[in-house]
Amino acid sequence: MIKIFILTNGYELIGSVDDTELTYQEIYNITDPMYIIGGRSDDYNGGAMRLRDAMMLAEEDVLSIPHKFVVTHFRPSKTMIAYYTRAIEFSKQHTRPEIEEQIGSAIKGLDGALVEDEEQTARFSAIIAKLAGGSGNIH
């Protein structure tokens, strides 16, 4: 069953939960949760509501939230359910792979920067050694 959860920190999530978890539970296990962002006329983007995958950086698709952090939950409209279903599909097919690619690229960039830093340190050490009267070769 798809539900919207209002959390004590003000966040709003939409996700799927097992019907048996909707009675008082210590923890809600929300599958494919998405943050509900915007939707109010005073928001910076003019009130446009959008969904953002809450698990796009995680291995799993389940977010466990202790009951004490949930103010309330309710069933969304059919239109909201349709939007959520499409957004999850899109995120799994496009957003998550693109983020993985961006992270992979960032790791390569960091690896390159580390190699460059090591090379600069070696050159600097060689210059210091030459200035100190050594050969400049570092062994």
> Which residue would you say has higher pLDDT here, 37 or 45?
37
Q: What percent of the chain has pLDDT over 90?
A: 43
* Per-residue pLDDT, 2: 95
The reported pTM is 0.69
pLDDT at residue 70 greater than cutoff 90: yes
Distances (CA, A) of 106 to 92, 97, 113: 21, 14, 10
| Residue 134: predicted pLDDT | 61
| CATH code of the domain made up of 2-93 | 2.30.30.100
Burial class (CB in 10 A: 0-12, 13-18, 19+), 112: exposed
Mean pLDDT value across residues 127-132: 81
Helices and strands (H, E) in the chain, number of each type: 2, 6
Whether 105 shows a pLDDT value over 60: the answer reads yes
Give the model's pLDDT for residue 64. 94
pLDDT computed for residue 13 by the predictor:
96
What confidence score (pLDDT) does residue 12 get?
96
31 and 16 Cβ atoms separated by less than 8 Å: yes
* Residue corresponding to tokens 């929300």: 30
